[in-house]
A = this chain, B = another copy of it.
Amino acid sequence: MQTMTDIPRATRERIISAASKLFYSEGIRAVSVDAVAEKAGLTKRTLYYHFRSKDDLVAAYLGARDQPNLSLFRRWFEEADGGLPAKVRAIFNRLARNASHPKWKGCGFLRTSAELANLPGHPAIKIGVAHKKKFEAWLRATFEEAGVTTAAPLARQILLLLDGSFAVVQLHRDPTYMETAGEAAFSLVGAAMKAGPKSGQRKR
């Protein structure tokens, strides 16, 4: 069973791809379902065969960004040289480079949840909440592995700086704010390590 059935799967993903580009660059309510269908090269009625509603489509758009986004941050962290503070700072610096691209429009999760703030139970918002929670959990685990005793609040502080830089850079279109946030993160992680690292774990 299901031998050739991944051809329709391709259609579904083509729709999500078109929706991603439009929703991310224009916003949710600014993009009509017709516009998504046209961008995907098919009819609105076909789109409604694959998705129950526009809300479902929005949720699929964010759902498709969840894992790739987290992987990217993890990869940036792992590829960076230096100690823990420098590796955290590297995430901000890599992000600053991305943010200077004209198509960059901030964090899709935050922008969507800001636009749909009047619909608290919206499925897309749940996905955004889960995404940010996963990122925070990864940070906390990373800090714990490094022996930082204040891993939980430190992870929150880094998250706050990251999401703050998303918001501020999206507003001012000035990626240097992201580097400033990276320096603040560097300071906070460094201070937390001085205060209470189990002083093992200093690999390499």
Contacts and interface: CB of A to CB of B under 8 A. Distances in A.
Interface of A: 25-27, 29-30, 105-106, 109-111, 113-118, 120, 125, 128-129, 132-133, 153, 156-157, 159-168, 170-173, 177, 180-181, 183-184, 187-188, 191
Nearest to A31: B118
Contacts of A109: 171
A82 to B, nearest CB: 20
A113 B171 contact: yes
13 contacts: A27-B115, A109-B171, A111-B114, A111-B117, A114-B115, A156-B180, A160-B161, A160-B164, A160-B177, A161-B161, A164-B164, A187-B191, A191-B191
Chain B CB count within 10 A is highest, among A105, A116, A132, A167, for A167
A166 B108 CA distance: 16
A189 to B, nearest CB: 11
Given A164-B164, A168-B163, A180-B157, A106 B117 contact: yes
Contact of A132 (B26, B168, B184): B168
A98 B101 CA distance: 36
